[in-house]
Structure 1
Amino acid sequence: MLAAALTGLLTSLLLIDGLGVNLLLCAVVAAVGAGIAARAAGRRLRAWTLVWSGLALALLAVPALYEAGWPALLSTVWAVGLASLALHGGRRWSGVLLALPGLLWQLVPALGWAREGLRGRGGNVRGRVVPVLKGVGVAAVLLAVFGALFASADAAMADVLGSLVPSLEGGELPARVALFVLGLATALGFAHIAAGPRRWDRTRVRPGRARGRMEWALPLTALNLMFGAFAVVQGVVVLGGGESVLERTGMSRSEYARQGFWQLLVITVLTLVVVAVAKRWAPRGTETDRRLARLLLGALCLLTLVVVASALGRMWFYVDASGLTTLRLWVLAVELWLGVVFMLLIAAGLTPSAGWLPRAVVLSAALAAAGYGLIGPDALVAEQNVARFERTGQIDLRNVRGLSADAVPALDRLPGDYRTCALGVVAADLENAGPTPWYADSLAGARAREILAERPPADRLTGREYACDRVGLRHEFTLGG
């Protein structure tokens, strides 16, 4: 209860200013509470618990390192899901997939669980908690009195205390109360799971009714033939013997390579759905049926890898021609992960038992999310576009003007008006945001403020707008970008 209350207090005091180191601090305190509950329930630490917990902590480091909002949100959601999976456990598809959002179903029951626990322990809790609360109250009074005296006596000490103590404003009270309740409920939810996890592995999912061999195998065979034809065409074009094919399309080789990425991405996702549905309704009465299912589904997965490779190659040519953007980087990461999933499906089809597959798929997704966040997508996009400018003298400033503070070190290398235009939006956003407390800042954000303080892109917003006009980017400049 003390750990949960401290989590709620930290959440209300720190998270209102934004994400940063504070999210990691709140998570560590909540993890301590869950660990205490697990130990009291006699649970043992398992290898997969350490794996999921370590990945969750790695994901929570993303907001402390980088400023971009989308990677921070993705990492936070995945971290919460992996923490729930670490406490629930699970190895079957039902156990793994239902454990990821398991915290959501524990938020309200955990409050009742904590209330009943306090009511049952009555005087024992009062004897332990009341002295602690009294000590905290006395410490707060002493720190407030002596802190005020030290701050008034020394300007440097006042600056240090001002950066350490969160600002409390009356208008923020409803938001802080909501954050306190959220932090308290989240910590109690994790503790409730740790004390008595729901065994989602026991959820039985009935297999689909097996279809007839022809009813099932004929569509898959036709689909394999279509995928095979696509693979042959790709091989002909890539190996240089497809001039006649290109003549019929009316495209150059570079135009052909850059065309159709999004369609191939959709094909990859739809194929994954087809494999899941076909596996559910595949005939399995005899060894011949099971062997035919493995053969057709394995061939489809193998041919899908050709589609994945073709999609990645097309996006590579597109990036080489037009530069990298955050959207292009994101879909590249998704396509790479889908390729890994199909390789795992092929490996599962070649092994006697595929009980490892659910955790392997979730592990690959978590590693992909962690890798995407930890590389700093905005910083990577800016670095690639600036390197391309240094190599060719060409840059599409629309690819970099909407990036976060993570991109500032790379964009700082651009010359003159290019630098002023590229940094205009992020400089305006940082100016509007004002000073950021240490607990809500990131490493990249602090570095960006340092660079822009030393070399501001322009003294006036109109100067930044004219700089974009001079380098050929016509737009309407706004404070929000």
Structure 2
Amino acid sequence: MRGEPAEAVGPVTLGAVLVAGLLSMVLLGDGLAWNLLIVAVPVGVAAWFSAQRDGRRGRWPRPWSWVWVGGVAALLVVPALRDAGWPSFLAIVAAFALGSLALHGSRTWTGVILSPLGVFEAVVPGLRWGWSGVRERAGEVRGAAPVLRAVAVTVVLLAVFGALFAGADAAFADLLGALIPDASVAGSPWRIVLLAAGVVGALAVARTAASPVRWDRLVVGPGRARGRVEWALPLVVLTALFAAFNAVQLAVLFGGYDTVLDKTGLSYSAYARQGFWQLLLATLLTLLVIVFALRWAPRDGARDRTLVRGVLGTLCAMTLVVVASAVRRMDMYVEAYGLTRLRISVVSVELWLGVILVLIMAAGVWGARWLPRAVAASAAAGVLAFGLLSPDALIAERNVQRYEETGKFDFDYARQLSADAVPALDGLPEPQRSCALKELADELGDERGPWFATSVGEARARRIIEKRPVVAVNATRCGGSDADRDFGPSTTSY
């Protein structure tokens, strides 16, 4: 399945790999922010030149590859903007997946799913490939001796005079400390690990670009076609069940929730919470049903294609109403109990499932050749939007708004949020503001990290707290989740 054997690694690729390793060593030891995007640049350069050297010019990058590369760059901006670790982690994972698609150029479901494995598979071959390139170009290094000596002298001069000027002026020392990464001896073992990881990772990416695994050649045959009645009857009955459920939902929408609550005996919040998880599971199961239905669909001619499109299109449309109902129920619950990370996450997943249903319906009209890549792009776009919208900030904004409306606030949960929540929590009156921000202010501390490892969210939080310092508040006045006692333990249950 692997493509043509890779040509010998070129000098530009080797140089880019070395730069990626050095940048990883000096930049990645203090956290992830702008440094991750900076390290990605030489890795991309190594991949580009190795692909061009191996004859992929004109074949790579294709238009979809440019989409994936742009997505990688956009996703790696998320850690630079947000202090919260969970959306940044999702963005990094999604960036790796999109980068794998760009390297392999996969089009099929098999290729889209398995492409990330190709980069891991290239780790050991990449090391052998890089070492052979270094050995072949050992003579070229001797010819570069004058340049290397000039670089060494330059580094020595900068180090000596930089140290002298830093000792002479404290302001200049602070400037150097902010601009130059810390390369202290105490962190040397960890720096060496980062150097090795950067070199190995860049070599694996470059080797994949030079000779990608052809995952699209793995063909999964279609299932055995079923007869029209055998195939359509269960789906038609299921669609009818969806239609009946949706009719009830529309009646609730226009008739009001009070009528339904009177009939069911449930509270407002219990009605919302009881239904959401079932509807989320129903959406997931419907997508699974569609996958198997397409595999076993009748395909004898135009009439069968019309039948498949009509039945599955109707089922997708009915499921979209279920998605809307699930989102509405969660909105009801948030109105009562506030927003949490889990609640905003599951709503985001439900909305993404709705996007997939729309894409499936579009594929039924215009063909499904583009569907695997479109689903991957929609997932990456969702992760990007999730990070750019700053979920911790949204949670804080919604809960501050709820405090203004009801006087209820869960301080225990607010203390778990990241620095991204500080601008919203700053809107609370005292002493509630200091109660919510005290632990965040303590975590930020007085010591600032280097600029390349500091997110915009952290920098903004520091400015706010420095402008309006947190005041000392008696712990008994802050309370915690007991401040939300009227809402019971379900306040942060999901």
TM-score, normalised by the number of residues in structure 2: 0.88
CA distance in 2, matches of 1:407, 1:241: 35
Aligned residue for 1:185?
200
Q: Deviations over 1:144-175 (max 9, x none)?
A: 11111111111111111122222234443332
Partner in structure 1 of residue 488 of structure 2: none
* 1:216 corresponding residue in structure 2: 231
Match of 2:173 in 1: 158
Which residue does 2:15 correspond to in 1?
A: 2
The aligned counterpart of 1:85 is: 101
User: Would you say 1:96 and 2:109 are equivalent positions?
Assistant: no
1:139 aligns with one of 143, 148, 154:
154
* Aligned equivalents of 1:472, 1:244: Cα separation in 2: 32
Identical pairs, percent? 52
1:233 Cα deviation after fit: 1.3
Deviates more, 1:216-225 or 1:235-244: 235-244
Q: Return 5+ residue gaps in structure 1 as ranges.
A: 476-481
Shift of 1:244: 6.5
The residue type equivalent to 1:137 in the other structure is A
1:273 Cα deviation (Å)?
A: 1.4
1:349 and 2:364 correspond: yes
The alignment status of 1:438 with 2:451, answered yes or no, reads yes
Question: Which of 381, 395, 411 is matched with 1:397 structurally?
Answer: 411
Matching of residue 113 in structure 1 with residue 123 in structure 2: no
Aligned position for 2:79: 63
Q: Report the counterpart of residue 9 of structure 2 in structure 1.
A: none
Q: Given that residues 24 and 57 in structure 1 are in contact (C-alpha distance below 8 angstroms), is that contact kept between their aligned partners in structure 2? A: yes
Q: Which residue of 1 aligns with 2:477?
A: 467
Matching residue's letter, 2:293:
A
Secondary structure of the residue aligned to 2:449 is coil
The alpha-carbon deviation at position 378 of structure 1 amounts to 0.9
Deviation at 1:33, TM superposition (A): 1.8
Q: Distance in 2 between matches of 1:321 and 1:225?
A: 33
Cα separation, 1, equivalents of 2:395 and 2:364: 38
Contact 2:126 2:204 in 1 (8 A): yes
CA distance 1:216–1:174, shift in 2 (3 Å): farther
Indicate if the aligned counterparts of 1:49 and 1:86 stay in contact, CA closer than 8 A.
Answer: yes
Q: Residues 299-349 of structure 1, C-alpha deviation per residue, up to 9 Å, x if partnerless?
A: 221111011000011111111121112221111111111101001101111
* Counterpart residue identity of residue 65, structure 2: T
- Confirm whether residue 41 of structure 1 aligns to residue 54 of structure 2: yes
TM-score, normalised via structure 1 length? 0.90
SS at match of 1:298: helix
Residues 424-477 of structure 1, C-alpha deviations (whole Å, 9 max, x = no match) = 22122212x842111110111011112222333234xxx4633313995499xx
Listed as ranges, the matches of 1:169-248 within 5 Å are 169-240=184-255, 246-248=261-263
Q: 1:269 to 1:411 in 2, by over 3 A?
A: same
Letter in 2 for 1:329: I
Instruction: Please name the residue that 2:140 is paired with.
Output: 124
Query: For the residues of structure 1 that align with 2:231 and 2:31, how far apart are their CA atoms?
Result: 53
Are the aligned partners of 1:378 and 1:403 in contact in 2 as well (CA < 8 Å)? yes
> Mean Cα displacement is larger for which, 289-298 or 419-428?
289-298
Residue 478 of structure 1 is matched in structure 2 by: none
Q: Deviations over 1:355-409 (max 9, x none)?
A: 1111111111111111111111111211222233334443333442211001111
Aligned pair in 2 of structure 1 residues 53, 136: CA closer, same or farther (>3 Å)? same
SS at match of 2:409: coil
Partner of 2:7 in structure 1? none
Q: Distance in 2 between matches of 1:304 and 1:170?
A: 59
Residue aligned with 2:255, SS: coil
Aligned positions, number: 469
> Quick one: distance in 1 between partners of 2:402 and 2:167?
53
Q: Distance in 2 between matches of 1:102 and 1:193?
A: 7
Deviation string 1:99-133 (CA, Å, 9 cap, x unpaired) is 244322222221111122233344235534x5554
Q: Would the aligned equivalents of 2:432 and 2:478 in 1 still touch at CA under 8 Å?
A: yes
Given that 2:316 and 2:357 are in contact with CA atoms closer than 8 Å, whether structure 1 keeps it comes out as: yes
Q: Which moved more, 1:271-280 or 1:244-253?
A: 244-253
CA contact (8 A) 2:412 2:481 kept: no
Q: Distance in 1 between matches of 2:152 and 2:478?
A: 56
Question: Any conservation in 2 of the 1:91–1:201 contact (CA below 8 Å)?
Answer: yes
Amino acid at match of 2:479: D
Alignment of structure 1 residues 416-427 onto 2, 5 Å: 416-427=430-441
Pick closer, same or farther for the CA change 1:201–1:126 going to 2, 3 Å: farther
Within 5 A, what are the aligned runs for 1:354-393? 354-393=368-407
Kept in 1: contact 2:410–2:484 (CA 8 A): no
User: Any stretches of 5+ residues in structure 2 without a counterpart?
Assistant: 1-13, 486-494
Contact 2:118 2:212 in 1 (8 A): no
Please give the residue correspondences for 1:313-328 in structure 2 after superposition, counting only pairs within 5 Å: 313-328=328-343
Instruction: Tell me the distance in 2 between the aligned counterparts of 1:244 and 1:334.
Output: 30
Please give the root-mean-square deviation of Cα atoms over the aligned residues, in Å.
2.4
